[in-house]
A = this chain, B = another copy of it.
Amino acid sequence: MTVVITRMSTLFLRTLRDDPADAEVPSHKLLVRAGYVRRVAPGVYSWLPLGLKVLRRVEDVVREEMNNIGGQEISLPALLPREPYDVTGRWTEYGDALFRLKDRKGADMLLGPTHEELFAQLVKGEYSSYKDLPVTLYQIQTKYRDEERPRAGILRGREFIMKDSYSFDLDIDGSKASYDAHREAYQEIFRRLQVKYVIVAATSGAMGGSASEEFLAESEVGEDTYVRSPESGYAANVEAVITPAPPALPIEGLPAAAVHDTGDTPTIDTLVAWAQETFPDRGFTAADTLKNVVVKLRSPGGEEELLAIGVPGDREVDFKRLEAAVEPAAVELITDADFAKNSFLVRGYIGPKGLQDNGVRYLVDPRIVDGTAWITGADAPGKHVVDLVAGRDFEPDGTIEAAEVRDGDPSPDGAGTLVTARGIEIGHIFQLGTKYTDAFDVGVLGENGKPVRLIQGSYGVGVSRMVAVIAEQHHDDKGLRWPKEVAPFDVHLVIANKDEGAWSGARSLAADLDAAGFSVLIDDRKASPGVKFKDAELLGMPVVVVVGRGWANGTVEIRDRFTGEATEVASDTAVATIVANR
Contacts and interface: CB of A to CB of B under 8 A. Distances in A.
A135 interface: yes
Given A12-B72, A46-B74, A148-B104, A80 B40 contact: yes
Given A38-B122, A103-B99, A78 B48 contact: no
**What band does the interface of chain A fall in when counting residues whose beta carbon is under 8 Å from B?**
35 or more
Given A100-B101, A126-B12, A146-B104, A118 B40 contact: yes
Nearest to A12: B72
A126 B104 CA distance: 37
Nearest to A526: B131
Interface string A18-42: 0000000000000000010010110
A129 to B, nearest CB: 10
A55 B140 CA distance: 14
A137 B12 contact: yes
Given A80-B41, A126-B14, A75 B46 contact: yes
A142 B68 CA distance: 27
A38 B12 CA distance: 38
A287 interface: no
- How many chain copies? 2
Interface in A36-92: 38, 40-41, 44-49, 52, 55, 64, 67-68, 70, 72-81
A79 B44 contact: yes
A582 B150 CA distance: 51
A135 B12 contact: yes
Nearest to A16: B126
A407 interface: no
B99 A99 contact: no
Contact of A127 (B14, B47, B107, B126): B14
A524 to B, nearest CB: 13
Nearest to A74: B48
Given A12-B126, A74-B12, A100-B101, A79 B46 contact: no
A343 interface: no
Interface string A123-148: 00111000000010100001010101
A148 B111 CA distance: 20
A10 to B, nearest CB: 7
A11 interface: yes
A96 interface: yes
Nearest to A123: B12
Given A76-B46, A77-B159, A126-B14, A96 B101 contact: no
Interface of A: 2, 10-14, 35, 38, 40-41, 44-49, 52, 55, 64, 67-68, 70, 72-81, 96-97, 99-101, 103-104, 107, 109, 111, 118, 122, 125-127, 135, 137, 142, 144, 146, 148, 158-159
Nearest 4 pairs of A and B residues by beta carbon: A101-B101, A96-B104, A47-B75, A41-B81
Given A49-B73, A78-B159, A97-B104, 6 more contacts: A46-B75, A46-B76, A49-B74, A78-B142, A101-B101, A104-B148
19 contacts: A2-B64, A11-B72, A12-B135, A12-B137, A40-B118, A41-B80, A44-B77, A44-B79, A44-B80, A47-B74, A47-B75, A47-B76, A49-B72, A77-B159, A79-B99, A79-B111, A97-B104, A99-B103, A104-B146
